[in-house]
Amino acid sequence: MPARTRNTERREDALSRERIVAAAVAMLDESGEGGLTFRALSAHLRTGAGAIYWHVANKDELLVAATEEVLAGAIAAETAEHTPEDAIRALALGVFDAVDEHPWAGTQLARVPVQPAMVHVFERLGRQIQALGVPLADQFTWASALLNYILGVAGQNAALARTVAPGTNRPEFLGEIASQWSRLDPAEFPFIRAVADQLPAHDDRDQFLAGIDLILAGVTALRGAVPRQSRGQ
C-alpha cells in the first residue's frame, strides 16, 4: 500500500501506480499481450521488479488497472442520447472501439469475471433497458444478454488480433480463411460456403452494431409480452 501520509515527493522521477499502469498500457499496445513482463516493465521504467511490486500487488491487478484505464473513456461518455436504444448503441460502441484499439483489453474482459469497468457498463445498459419499459423480472436477464454479447465480441476480436498479429495483415488473413471456407465439403458446410465471400469484406464494427440492433429488436418484440416462461422446451 503506497500510503503517502505526508505529501512529500521523494524524487522527481518517483515511481507511482499511475506511471506503472501507463507504462503497462504503452507496452501492451506496442507489443501485445505477451509483451507485458515484469522484467520488460522494469527495464522500461529503469527500476527493478521489486519496486513495482511495492505499488502493484501482482500482474492480474496490473492488467485490471490497465484495462480500466483504457475503458475509462467509454464509460465516461455520458452523452444524453435521444432514445434508450441510441444510448445502448453508443455505450456498446464505446466498449467496442476501446477493445478494437487495445485488443489485449478484450482478452482481459473475457478472462476476468466482472472487470470493474464493466460494472458501470452493466449499470448503464440496465438503466436503458429499464427505460425501454422492460418488466422488472426481465431487466436483469436482458441486460446480461447485452453484456455477454459485448464481451463475446470483445473476446473474439482479441483472439483474432492475437493470431493475425505476426506477419500478414488483417484483410489478407481473412481472405485466407475465406478461401479455406469455400473449399469445405459442400455437403457438410453449405452455409459457411455460402457466406464465405462475405467474410473478407465485412466491417466488424457494423456487424457488431447489427448484433446489438438484433437484440434490441428482440427487446422491443418481447417487452410487455407474457410475463415470462413463454418458451418452448
Partner DNA sequence: CTTTCTCTGGAACGTCGTTCCAGTCAAGCT
Partner DNA sequence: AGCTTGACTGGAACGACGTTCCAGAGAAAG
Residue ranges in contact with DNA by CB under 7 A: 2-6, 8, 10-11, 14-15, 36-40, 42, 45-51, 53-55, 58-60
Binds 49: which of a second copy, DNA, none (CB < 5-8 Å by kind): DNA
Asked if residue 59 binds a second copy (CB under 8 A), the reply is no
* Cβ(65)–Cβ(56) below 8 Å: yes
**Residue in 17, 44, 59, 89 binding a second copy, rule: CB under 8 A:** 89
Interaction of residue 123 with a second copy, rule CB under 8 A: yes
Torsion angle, CA of 54/55/61/64, rounded to 10 degrees?
-160
The label of the residue with cell 466498449 reads 95
- State which residue, 35 or 211, has the beta carbon closest to a second copy: 211
**Among 82, 155, 84, which Cα is nearest to 118's?**
155
HEC states along 188-207?
Answer: CCHHHHHHHHHCCCCCHHHH
Q: Compute the least distance from the CB of residue 99 to a second copy, in Å.
A: 12
Q: How far is the CB of 4 from a second copy (least distance, A)?
A: 25
Under rule CB under 8 A, residue 37 binds a second copy: no
Contact of residue 145 among a second copy, DNA, none (CB under 5-8 Å per partner type): a second copy
Chosen residue from 155, 175, 182, 200 binding a second copy by CB under 8 A? 155
